Structure 1
Amino acid sequence: MARIKPQALLQQSKKKKVPGRISATTVVLYGLIVLVMVFFLFATFKHWTRRSTTHLEDGLPNLTHEDAFVGSSSDVPRFAIFNTSKGSITVELYKEGSPGVVDEFIESCQMGHFKGMSFNRVIKNFVIQGGDLESGVTEDWTSKGKHYNLLDERLKHEAFMLGTSKVKHDKEGFELFITTAPIPDLNEKLNVFGRVIKGEDVVQEIEEVDTDEHYRPKSPIGIISVTLKHRI
Structure 2
Amino acid sequence: MGRIKPQALLQQSKRKKGPSRISATIVTFYALILVMLVFILFVTYRHWSNRTRLQPESYISVSEDENTSVESKKSDLPGYAVVITSKGSIIVELYKESAPEVVDEFIDLCQKGHFKGMLFHQVIKHYIIQAGHNKGPGATEDWNLLGKKYASMRHEAFMLGTSKGKYFNKGFDLFITTAPIPDLNEKLIVFGRVIKGQDIVQEIEEVDTDEHYQPKLTIGILDVALKQIV
TM range (shorter): 0.5 to 0.7
Q: CA RMSD in A?
A: 2.0
- The residue type equivalent to 2:90 in the other structure is I
Matched residue, 2:60 = none
TM-score, normalised to structure 2, is: 0.60
- 1:91 is aligned to 92
Higher Rg of the two aligned structures: 2
Structure 2 match to 1:53: none
1:120 corresponding residue in structure 2: 121
Measured in 1, the distance between the counterparts of 2:124 and 2:194 equals: 18
The residue that corresponds to 2:75 in the other structure is 74
Deviations 1:187-221 (A, max 9, x none): 20100000000000000000000001110000000
In the other structure, the counterpart of 2:169 is 169
**Conserved in 2, the CA contact under 8 Å of 1:162 and 1:176?**
yes
Secondary structure of the structure 1 residue equivalent to 2:186? helix
Aligned amino acid, residue 119 of structure 1: F
Unaligned runs of 5+ in 1: 1-70, 142-154
Q: Which residue of 1 aligns with 2:11?
A: none
Secondary structure of the structure 2 residue equivalent to 1:163: strand
The count of residues paired between Structure 1 and Structure 2 equals 147
TM-score by length of 1: 0.60
Alignment of 1:23-38 (within 5 A): none
Match of 1:138 among 137, 140, 149: 140
1:134/1:219 CA distance change after superposition, 3 Å: closer
Equivalent positions of 1:202-217 (< 5 A) are 202-217=200-215
Choose from 191, 194, 197 the match for 2:192: 194
Q: Tell me, what secondary structure is at the counterpart of 1:72?
A: helix
Q: Does the Cα contact within 8 Å between 1:137 and 1:189 map onto a contact in 2?
A: no
Aligned partners of 1:187, 1:130: CA distance in 2, in Å? 19
The offset of 1:174, in angstroms, is 1.0
C-alpha distance in structure 2 between counterparts of 1:75 and 1:156, whole Å: 28
What secondary structure does 2:194 align onto?
A: strand
Deviations 1:15-37 (A, max 9, x none): xxxxxxxxxxxxxxxxxxxxxxx
Q: Between the two proteins, what is the percent identity of the paired residues?
A: 68
Contact 2:178 / 2:201 at 8 angstroms: preserved in 1? yes
Kept in 1, the 8 Å contact 2:121–2:135? The answer is: no
Letter of the structure 1 residue corresponding to residue 127 of structure 2: F
Q: Deviations over 1:165-206 (max 9, x none)?
A: 101222xx3100000011122220100000000000000000
Task: Spell out, residue by residue over 1:128-177, the C-alpha distance to the aligned partner (whole angstroms, 9 max, x if none).
Answer: 00003479662379xxxxxxxxxxxxx9531000000101222xx31000
